[in-house]
Amino acid sequence: MLIAHQFYEYNFPFQFNEYFLYWEKTYHFEVKTQVIQLLVQTTIKKKLDVQQFMEPFDKLSNARKTTVKKILIKSIEQEIQNKFLQPKFKILQKDNSVKYLDQLKPINITKARFIYFYENINITDLFKQF
């Protein structure tokens, strides 16, 4: 019962901060919505299917697609800055090679099939005595 209570009291690592509340264009809103969906996955290891993520933006120009990737990166950086995500990424590239990075760039997204993000969990907080 004590452990169940501690998990019940666990602060889910995603919190809406001001960054997610504002957007300029419709595609900004779409990116931020998809990032929220990524972050609320119930596993510690978050998986982004890059092709599925980019699909709604297929009709945009290449310059706007790059902007979409930059918005994704900025959203992830926000969560790293808030200490909700670790600054470590595992990328399964389109050629099936695996890359481990500390920072994302638009080219990494272009070459990726899947990107894995890791939740930043402080285990000692889960087992604090009340």
Q: Domain residues of the chain, as ranges?
A: 2-11+25-126
Q: How many CB atoms are closer than 10 A to CB 68?
A: 21
- In DSSP terms, 119 is beta-bridged to 85
pLDDT tens digit sequence for 61-83:
999 999 999 999 999 998 899 88
Q: Are 101 and 89 in contact (CB under 8 A)?
A: yes
Q: What percent of the chain has pLDDT over 90?
A: 52
pLDDT higher for 76 or 27? 76
Separation between Cα atoms, residue 93 and residue 81, nearest integer Å? 26
pTM above 0.75, yes or no: yes
What is the band of 127 on the pLDDT scale with cuts at 50, 70, 90?
A: low
Burial string for 14-39 (b: 16+ CB within 10 Å, else e) reads beeeebbeeeeeebeebbbebbeebb
What is the band of 47 on the pLDDT scale with cuts at 50, 70, 90?
A: very high
